[in-house]
Amino acid sequence: MYENPRLVIDSSNPPEPGHIVWRSPSNIAIVKYWGKYGNQLPRNPSLSLTLASSFTDTRLEYAFRETAGNDIELEFLFHQEENEKFQAKTLAFLESLGSIFPFLKQLKLSVHTGNSFPHSAGIASSASSMSALALCLCSLEDALFGTLQDPDAFDRKASFIARLGSGSACRSIFPHAAVWGETSSVAGSSNEYAVPVADMVHDVFRDIHDDILIVSSDEKAVSSRAGHALMDGNPYADTRYAQARRRLDNLIGAMRSGDLQTFGKIAEDEALTLHALMMCSNPSYLLMHPGTVAIIEKVRAYRADTGHPVYFTLDAGPNVHLLYPGDIIHDVRAFIEDSLKMHCENGHVQEDWVGEGPEEM
């Protein structure tokens, strides 16, 4: 879609060394993407809220190589330390983009990155990290060639590139809320990139808080990549994809009208469906911990007792996202302090909220 062999640096007029820095947030899917085909294409559409305080900062430094190689020259640091696993993943990703960014082999690249939250624990660190890197790459293209001056075109390409690194990363490009995957509910929606839907939703959803209860910061026993692959043999896969499409249609309607109750029911049903699919995979696996279940039960009881619109969702991990509108923040934070922190690793709660999207630093 974006292949461009003309994006090659003129060696007679090489660029000066420079750097680009982007901060990109994670996102939390309300309707989940679980199962893919082809090159990171979704089996069903998904809708996410863009977060604010759970983010990745990525600094991309570049300098012209006097002699271009057949490979990409990369230095990689995660939190100022070498990380062979992340370096290999980043290098493979960059090499896969050779036809889109052919100029990368003409540069010496250095990537310094870090998160504001635990990685690989089910808070979509791949979404924030790959979207931040995709934004850096698109900014680099624009700096070298001036080809992405239009903001919408820039965001669309950044979302496309982010998707190739991590499916959910394509949604992090946009503020407030985004949809990824073809659906008749959203004009212009695509399997190739996400689209913003903030202008389609009620203002109450711009003031949603997401307090993430860190039950465990350990790396997941089964990666999301492996979990997606297991959907190919899941006996409930086709039923699930149809269910997700119906739920997304209903969710869009609820978010248009400001219907928190329907929003919350879909969020919780989707969370439990996601983990049920894991338990029905072959081999089956379980990412919820006892603390996860304890929190879910307490949230349901608290909502029944108080009538407050407080809902849970889960990503592909044991940690619980607590969703609620800002006007009840003091009551909910007291509930967390008194009843939920005891189930969190070292009492760790990542306080987050719906945010404005990525920022070039």
Per-residue pLDDT band for 125 (boundaries 50, 70, 90) equals confident
User: The CATH number of the domain where 110 resides is what?
Assistant: 3.30.230.10
User: The CATH number of the domain where 299 resides is what?
Assistant: 3.30.70.890
**Are 165 and 270 members of one domain?**
no
pLDDT in tens, 254-290: 999 999 999 999 999 999 999 999 999 999 999 999 9
Predicted confidence at residue 223, as pLDDT, reads 86
- Residue 86 covered by a domain: yes
Calculate ∠ Cα 19-101-361, nearest 5°. 25
- Domain final position from 185, 200, 215: 200
**Are 196 and 250 members of one domain?**
no
Q: Is 283 helix (H, G, I), strand (E, B) or coil?
A: coil
- Domain final position from 133, 168, 200: 200
User: Could you tell me which of 176, 129, 175, 138 has the C-alpha nearest to residue 156?
Assistant: 138
- Residue 12 covered by a domain: no
**Are 89 and 40 members of one domain?**
yes
Domain extent at residue 103:
18-200
Instruction: Write out the DSSP string of 316-333.
Output: SSSPEEEEEEGGGHHHHH
- Domain final position from 144, 175, 200: 200
- Residue 7 covered by a domain: no
- Contact call for residues 60 and 136 (beta carbons, < 8 A): yes
Residue 203 DSSP symbol: G
- What total number of domains does the chain contain? 2
**Are 82 and 102 members of one domain?**
yes
Question: 123 pLDDT exceeds 80?
Answer: no
**Are 236 and 157 members of one domain?**
no
Predicted confidence at residue 47, as pLDDT, reads 98
pLDDT in tens, 205-264: 999 999 999 999 888 888 888 999 999 999 999 999 999 999 999 999 999 999 999 999
**Are 195 and 50 members of one domain?**
yes
**Are 190 and 164 members of one domain?**
yes
pLDDT in tens, 56-115: 999 999 999 988 678 899 999 998 888 888 899 999 999 999 999 999 999 999 999 999
- Residue 73 covered by a domain: yes
**Are 89 and 140 members of one domain?**
yes
pLDDT in tens, 289-312: 999 999 999 999 999 999 999 999
